[in-house]
Structure 1
């Protein structure tokens, strides 16, 4: 094991540039998946005839597919339909689709956890169903969703490593490039990458636990 060579200035610079790419990828995917996940979750909770059933089927399909399959289809499969995305865009699309399905379940569960009496009370006070959902149910549900949503964001950050399947220049891809140049770099490089993931994800885990404690 060559720690000195593995941790050379050039290698560290390359790894941390890829870390920034990973964080950028995860950040965009988190924002987009939160937007679409909330929309899908509300549609499922609202029980709109036909639409709710269609959304439920789509979400169930996506949640039960391997993420790496969605990544491969987003990059290679869409080409058969004349849609050619670059690696970064395909990675964002796949992560967003998969994580939005996951977050929609968190949203639906959070909304379902609110007492039905609150909706009835809001309706009896003169609010429409949409107004009651927007002003009474959704704000309370969103607060309860924060801890599990943070946990899902942690999972998303780790899932970015799967985009190595289409050659995305994220952290694991950079690690493979580094230790491919010298086999003695493998263990030191993987140790560093593991440490980076641990620090980021453990920090988010602490945040999740604190937010959850505030809900108790």
Structure 2
């Protein structure tokens, strides 16, 4: 099970990198209402949130090869998980940016700040206060969702547990251990993420308070 646990964490980490990168870009273009890109991002969010993750994993791994796109199990798994999570990160980022009062941006413009300067010094510091907590929760959800990657033949924690059951027929004991391992992983991450949030946001709120116009 140790190798499966390591693989689960690797898949989750790579998927998180994909989801945060694409989700942040998607959330920003939707917030800024960039022509065409905003509509494409909204379509991705709508479609992704309306289709179960299991179907998306199966589509990427089993469906794409029928049109000539062949992916190995690892890239297929992280791509499907990353794109799925990116839709929710997009909503988190857009919601965080929208949480900043419009008057802040207007005041920044009146002081002669450019769009990028306003985003960097006024909008983002305040938006991060609203973005970070749900972003941490999304990572926890991503790890739990990674249990489905066993369907694309990756030897993650869940798949290795299934292999042990096939050999020992001890379903109760194995699933109890699997549940305990997932709980330990997510609980440890919850404590770590909570500590990072408190440390970051404590100083950030003070900084934001000084910058508010």
Q: By how many angstroms is 1:208 displaced?
A: 4.6
CA distance in 2, matches of 1:47, 1:67: 27
Q: By how many angstroms is 1:128 displaced?
A: 2.0
Matched length:
201
> What aligned pairs does 1:73-88 form with structure 2 within 5 A after superposition?
73-88=59-74
Q: What whole-Å deviation, never above 9, does each CA across 1:84-131 have from its counterpart, x for those lacking one?
A: 111011001100100011100000001111111111111111122233
| Structure 1 position 164 matched with structure 2 position 150 | yes
Partner of 1:40: 26
Secondary structure of the corresponding residue to residue 76 of structure 1? helix
Q: By how many angstroms is 1:54 displaced?
A: 2.6
| Counterpart selection for 1:205 from 159, 178, 190 | 190
Q: What whole-Å deviation, never above 9, does each CA across 1:16-54 have from its counterpart, x for those lacking one?
A: 011001100001111111111111000110012332123
Higher mean Cα deviation, 131-140 or 109-118? 131-140
Partner of 2:159: 173
Partner of 1:119: 105
| Counterpart selection for 2:16 from 30, 47, 61 | 30
| Structure 1 position 96 matched with structure 2 position 82 | yes
| Counterpart selection for 2:181 from 174, 186, 196 | 196
CA RMSD for the aligned pairs? 1.8
Q: Is the CA contact 1:119–1:137 (under 8 Å) kept in the aligned structure 2? A: yes
TM-score norm. by structure 2 comes to 0.88
Higher mean Cα deviation, 194-203 or 19-28? 194-203
Residues 212 and 70 from structure 1, CA distance in 2 versus in 1: closer, same or farther, beyond 3 angstroms?
farther
Q: Is the CA contact 1:33–1:96 (under 8 Å) kept in the aligned structure 2? A: yes
CA distance in 2, matches of 1:193, 1:51: 41
Partner of 1:7: none
TM-score norm. by structure 1 comes to 0.87
Unaligned runs of 5+ in 1: 1-14
| Counterpart selection for 1:110 from 61, 78, 96 | 96
CA distance in 1, matches of 2:150, 2:168: 20
